[in-house]
Amino acid sequence: MLHKRKISRLVWFAAIAVCAGIVSAGVISPGGARAQSQDDLVKGLPAPGPEAYASLQKLEVELDRSGGTVVAEVGPHAVTWADIADIIRAMPPIAGGVPFPMLYQRAATQALEQAALALRGETTGLDNDPIVRRRMRNAANDALATEVIRRSLAPNLTDKALHATYDALVANKPAPEEVDIRLIMVTTKAEATALIGQLNSGANFAELATKFSKDGTASNGGELGYARQDMLSPEVGAIAFAMAPGQMTAYPVRSGNGWFIIRVESRRQPAAPSFEAARGALEQDIIHAGAPFLMQQALKSAPVKYHGVTGTNAAKDPK
C-alpha cells in the first residue's frame, strides 16, 4: 500500500510548530514577540515562481532549484530555500491542500525558530555538552544514511516501475474514506466538558472554536476539512470515523496533551488519485521496499566489531 507519512498530533501543524503543538505558528520578532502577520513574512521573503503553486512536489523542486537563496539570517545561521524545502518535504500529504502563502510562511517560521533556538544553545555553550554532541553526531549519521539510501535506490524510480506500482496498488481502486470534521481543542477535561454543555444548549460550534480552541484550526471556526483516518491521531481518528454526519462527541476525547470536541460534518469516498498526484508516495514506497536489503548489505561490508551487551571501554567523544 502507499507509504503514509504519519503525524504525531492531529493535523500537519504539529509537524511544523517547534513548541506550540497544533497552535498556529507566528513570526518571532527580534525581541521575541510574535509580531508580524503571515502576509508580512511572505512579502519579506523571496517568492518562488508560479510553478511552485501547482503541488507540494513542484514547490519542493522550485525551492531546491535555487536552494542557496538566503531568505533570512539568524546570527551566523543562514536560512535558505533549501532549508524550507526540507521542512515542507517532511510534512504529511495533507499539507498539499494548504494555500501556498500559508505553507511557505509556516515552513519559513519553523526554520527561523529552529535557527534561533540553535543560536541560543550555542550562546550558552550547550553545543559542547557531551550528551548534545552525541545526539548531534547521531542526527548527522541518520541524515547521511538516509541520503545514501535515497541516492542508491534512485535508479529504481523509473517511470516504468512507478507506473507498475501505481497500476497494482492505486489505479481503479477507491481512495480511503474521508471525513470532514470540525473540532475544538482545549487543555483540560473540565473546560471541554463545559463547552460541550454550551453546544448542547445551542451554542454555535464555529464561534466557540474561534474563541476557545487552542488548535491551529481555531481561526477557521474549528474546520479541519476532509481527512483520512491515518492523518488523524489514533484517538481522534477512531472517534471521528465512528460517527455519522451531524454527530458530535458526547464526551471530551483525550489525545496527546489536549482534550478534543469533534463534530463530523460529512463523509466521502474519493476516487483513486491520479498517477501524478500519487507519484511522490509511490517513490517513497519503492525506496522503503528496497531500504532493508541495502542496509543489510551495508552492514555486511562494514568493518564492525561488536562487543556484546556488556560493551567495552567507552570511546572518547571526538572533537
**Amino acid residing at 183:** L
Q: Which of 7, 1, 4, 2 is nearest to 236 (CA)?
A: 7
CB proximity list for 217: less than 8 A, separation 6 or greater: 11, 22, 182, 183, 209, 223, 224
Residue 224 has a pLDDT of: 87
> Contact, 61 vs 43, CB < 8 A?
no
pLDDT digit string, tens, across residues 95-119:
666 667 777 888 888 999 999 999 9
- Tell me: pLDDT of 21 over 70: no
How far is the CA of 258 from the CAs of 85, 254, 262, 308, in angstroms?
30, 6, 12, 42
CA–CA distance, 28 with 109 (Å, rounded to integer): 8
Based on the fold, state whether residues 147 and 158 are members of the same structural domain.
Answer: yes
Based on the fold, state whether residues 257 and 285 are members of the same structural domain.
Answer: no
Average pLDDT, the chain: 80
- Categorize the per-residue pLDDT at 6 as very low, low, confident or very high, splitting at 50, 70 and 90: very low
2-26 burial, b at 16+ Cβ within 10 Å, e below that, comes to bbebebebbbbbbbbbeebbbbbbb
In the sheet that holds 258-268, the strands lie side by side as 223-228, 178-186, 258-268, 253-255
Based on the fold, state whether residues 194 and 250 are members of the same structural domain.
Answer: yes
pLDDT digit string, tens, across residues 245-296:
999 999 999 998 899 999 999 999 888 888 887 887 888 888 989 999 999 9
Q: What is the DSSP letter of 248?
A: B
Q: Which of 104, 240, 233, 113 is nearest to 181 (CA)?
A: 240
Based on the fold, state whether residues 159 and 280 are members of the same structural domain.
Answer: yes
CB proximity list for 10: less than 8 A, separation 6 or greater: 22, 183, 185, 215, 224, 232, 233, 236, 255, 256, 260
Based on the fold, state whether residues 140 and 282 are members of the same structural domain.
Answer: yes
Based on the fold, state whether residues 83 and 147 are members of the same structural domain.
Answer: no
How far is the CA of 161 from the CAs of 97, 153, 181, 189, in angstroms?
27, 12, 36, 50
**How many angstroms from the chain centroid is the CA of residue 117?**
19
Which helix or strand (DSSP H or E) is residue 102 part of?
helix 100-123
pLDDT digit string, tens, across residues 154-201:
998 999 999 998 998 888 888 889 999 999 999 999 999 999 999 999
Based on the fold, state whether residues 83 and 143 are members of the same structural domain.
Answer: no
Based on the fold, state whether residues 113 and 43 are members of the same structural domain.
Answer: yes
CA–CA distance, 229 with 210 (Å, rounded to integer): 24
Tell me if the pTM is above 0.75. no
> Contact, 63 vs 76, CB < 8 A?
no
Based on the fold, state whether residues 103 and 196 are members of the same structural domain.
Answer: no
pLDDT digit string, tens, across residues 45-87:
455 555 554 566 677 777 777 888 898 999 999 999 889 888 8
Structural domains counted in the chain: 3
CA–CA distance, 136 with 191 (Å, rounded to integer): 40
Based on the fold, state whether residues 159 and 96 are members of the same structural domain.
Answer: no
> Contact, 296 vs 176, CB < 8 A?
no
Work out the average pLDDT over 127-147. 94
- Categorize the per-residue pLDDT at 130 as very low, low, confident or very high, splitting at 50, 70 and 90: very high
CATH number for 195: 3.10.50.40
Residue 314 has a pLDDT of: 61
Based on the fold, state whether residues 94 and 152 are members of the same structural domain.
Answer: no
Q: Which domain holds residue 44?
A: 1-127
Based on the fold, state whether residues 187 and 60 are members of the same structural domain.
Answer: no
DSSP letter string over 269-319?
-PPPPPHHHHHHHHHHHHHHHHHHHHHHHHHHHS-----TTT--SPPPPP-
CA–CA distance, 262 with 169 (Å, rounded to integer): 32
Read off the C-alpha cell for 6. 504519519
Residue 215 has a pLDDT of: 86
- Euclidean distance between the first and the last CA atom of the chain, given in angstroms as a whole number: 44
How much of the chain, in percent, has pLDDT values that exceed 90? 44
Locate cell 521542512: which residue? 87
